[in-house]
Amino acid sequence: MAYRYLLDGIGQVPVRQEASTFELPTDAEAWVQPYVTSYENERTETTAGAANDAQPKTCTGDTCSFGYPTLFDVGGSYVLLTEADVDGRYSGSHLEHRDGSGAYQVALADGAPVTAPGPLATPWRTAIVGSLDTVVGSTLVDDLAPPSKVKDTSWIRPGVDDWSWLSDGDSPGNADRQRDFVDYAAAHGLEYTLVDAGWQESWVPALVRYARAKGVDVLLWFDWNDLRTQAQRDAWLPKVKAWGVAGVKVDYMYSDSQSTFQWYDAILKDTARLKLMVDFHGATIPRGLQRTWPQVMSVEGVRGEENGQNPTRDVFLAFTRNVVGSMDYTPTWFSRPGRQDTLARELALPVVFESGWTSLGDHPEGFAAHPVAERYLEQLPTVWDETHLVSGGPARQPAGDRQVVMARRSGDRWFVGGILAGTADTMRAPLGFLGHGRWLLETVQDSGGDLERTVRTVTSRDTLAVAAAHDSGFAAIACPAAEGRTDCDTPVVTAPATTLALTPATATAGPAPA
């Protein structure tokens, strides 16, 4: 369900506030996130009436603010509240709730009015209603956004990148270390290497040429303060495009104001014109942006792996934040000091969570210590033809844990990811989504401090059962069984390592080869 207001006035139309309000039973289960512009607060399980107890820091008197998307269970039917089609004509909004009530009112960003040329259509006020599978599989937020403004999308290429900042914070400032990540991406068929804060103009062009010679493209991080004005964008974006950079990661916007959405409008036009893909980090949540501007590969707006680990949070995210658009969570830091989950659970996250660019969080040495995980990640797509919730939910299971098992299809292969938060349990995945015929099923699970891969033949009548330890999980791939087929792998394509040899004399700034 979605509705919006149409204001027919001519000239500048001011909107001071909205009376838009969603009424919930006060005893409805609720999964809420206290509102901050980074959307990086933890979510809490509560009830619609008692939600203000979740985080008093976002409250004024008896009224508290909550960010989208917000999930409620109303008598066994689920309701996910959010908004769609927000751009510079308006501001983003959030929900305000008075303690003890069931009413959640739409509030404009910063409590500030918006002004736009009339006639004005407000953003869509949106409720996705139904079973958990209906909620998880919904594309309503994208469907409500305007159609693509990019006619030629042939240059837009989702994929997997290795990202050094999470596991090796100083590495983005070290050209030699970045080459290690390029070499790893090339050896394992990853499409991209993402170079984060600390890169230097003196060596990035040479790194880009080195990477492209190996069949890898480079993505480059920017602080939004360096791209805020049109003059700054006109200086930087054509330059990095000439270097051969494939896309940019822009960070630290942290605002839902109308002026910030006007900035999004401007940089999206600029990047589309220059054929640069985009990842918005330190950003608001998606509101249909990827339909209108399909060069947007992912958006943060989430408390991800860089903010510490919380297995319960991850289960909540599958039913809330990730429903409304790609989520830049940055999973798979296998070598993380003091890691609080298991290897198999880390491996499952890129399947449970959808992102057009999936930024892997470990360094080459951390991945190399777990070849079973490397093999799985080499096969990982980031674009899916079909998604199903197989089992689980945000509420506790009878055994006291929470879990989710997600199945996503790419071509004729199904990828399955399961994560568990809390007490050890047997995770069960009915395989009815597979359809007719016999299927080869590869399952990766924890075993003796490492990962173990098993292969068997199944049909859609079978159920996969995995004994999962505390805060554990599993990952799997299924493909049609055929005589002589022993795995579901597709070949990893790599460019010859000796395509281009760079010397100190040639490793200088300059235009990228055509």
> Active-site residue numbers?
251, 306
Contact 151, 181 (CB under 8 A): no
Q: How many residues does the chain have?
A: 514
User: For residues 298 and 448, what is the distance between their CA atoms, to the nearest angstrom?
Assistant: 35
- Of the chain, the end-to-end C-alpha distance in Å amounts to 48
Nearest to 364, CA basis, from 176, 180, 172, 170: 180
Between CA 117 and CA 124, with CA 118 as vertex, the angle to 5 degrees is 100
Q: Is residue 136 a contact partner of residue 406, using CB atoms and an 8 Å limit?
A: yes
CA angle 287, 292, 293 (to 5 degrees): 100
Strand partners, 473: 419
Can you tell me the distance from the alpha carbon of 363 to that of 336, in angstroms, rounded to the nearest whole number? 10
Characterize the bridge pairing of strands 29-32 and 44-47. antiparallel
Residues whose CB is less than 8 angstroms from the CB of residue 384 and which lie 6 or more positions away in sequence, other chains included: 354, 408, 409, 410
Residue 293 contacts residue 321 (beta carbons within 8 Å): no
Q: Are 317 and 302 in contact (CB under 8 A)?
A: yes
Q: Determine the Cα angle at 363 with ends 195 and 307, to 5°.
A: 75
Q: Rounded to 5 degrees, what are φ and ψ at 467?
A: -75, 110
Alpha-carbon gap, residue 180 to 363, rounded angstroms? 9
Q: Which residue has the tokens 């000239």?
A: 11
Q: How open is the CA angle 229-286-22, to the nearest 5 degrees?
A: 120
Using the CB atoms, write b or e for 398-430: b if 16+ within 10 Å. Answer: eeebbbbbbbbbbeebbbbbbbbbbeebebebe
Alpha carbon distance 344, 351 (integer Å): 12
CA dist list (Å): 191 to 148, 184, 242, 246, 495? 24, 11, 19, 10, 11
